[in-house]
Amino acid sequence: MAELWARSACQLASALRAKEISSSELLAEFLARIELLDPKLNAVVTLDVERARKAAVEADDAIVRGQDLGPLHGLPITVKDALETSGMRSTGGAEELSHHVPTVDAPAVARVRHAGAVIFGKTNVPKWSGDSQTRNEIFGITRNPWDPFLSPGGSSGGPAVSVACGFTAFELGTDIGGSIRMPAHFTGICGHKPSFGIVPSRGYLDHVGGGLTEADINVVGPLARSVADLEVVLEVLVQSDLWSPGGWHLELPPVRSEMRVGAWLDDDVCPVDEEVLSILERAVKGLENIGAKIDPHSRPVDFGQSMRLFLALISSAVSPGLDDEIFELAKGMESIPEEPGEDPLLKMSRGVSMRHRDWIAFDEERELLRRQWASWFEDHDVLLCPVGPVAAQPLSDEDLFNRKMIVNGVERSANDLIFWPGLTGVAYLPATVVPVGRNAAGLPVGIQVVAPYLGDLTALFVARRLEEIFGGYEPPPIALEA
What is the set of domains in the chain, with CATH numbers? 4-256 (3.90.1300.10), 312-360 (no CATH)
Alpha carbon 49 to its chain's center: 26
pTM of the shown model? 0.95
Please give the biggest Cα pair distance in the chain.
69
Task: Give me the amino acid identity at 406.
Answer: I
Catalytic center residues: 80, 155, 179
Over residues 235-259, the pLDDT tens digits come to 999 975 555 556 677 889 999 999 9
Q: What is the pLDDT of residue 322?
A: 67
H or E segment at 220?
strand 219-224
- Tell me if 189 sits within 8 A of 222, measured CB to CB: no
260 forms beta bridges with 293
pLDDT tens-digit profile, the chain (482 residues): 689 999 999 999 999 999 999 999 999 999 999 999 999 999 999 999 999 999 999 999 999 999 987 999 999 999 999 999 999 999 999 999 999 999 999 999 999 999 999 999 999 999 999 999 999 999 999 999 999 999 999 999 999 999 999 999 999 999 999 999 999 999 999 999 999 999 999 999 999 988 898 999 999 999 999 999 999 999 999 975 555 556 677 889 999 999 999 999 999 999 999 999 999 999 999 999 999 999 999 999 999 999 999 998 998 898 887 665 555 555 554 544 555 555 555 555 666 767 889 899 999 999 999 999 999 999 999 999 999 999 999 999 998 878 999 999 999 999 999 999 999 999 999 999 999 999 999 999 999 999 999 999 999 999 999 999 999 999 999 999 97
Distances (CA, A) of 241 to 106, 107, 244: 12, 8, 5
Q: What is the CA radius of gyration of the chain?
A: 21
H or E segment at 286?
helix 274-289
Going by C-alpha positions, the residue among 278, 326, 318 that lies closest to residue 177 is 318
Where do the H-state alpha helices sit in 407-478?
A: 419-425, 456-470
| Dist. CA 192–CA 184, nearest whole Å | 9
- Tell me if 147 sits within 8 A of 141, measured CB to CB: no
Q: What is the pLDDT of residue 293?
A: 98
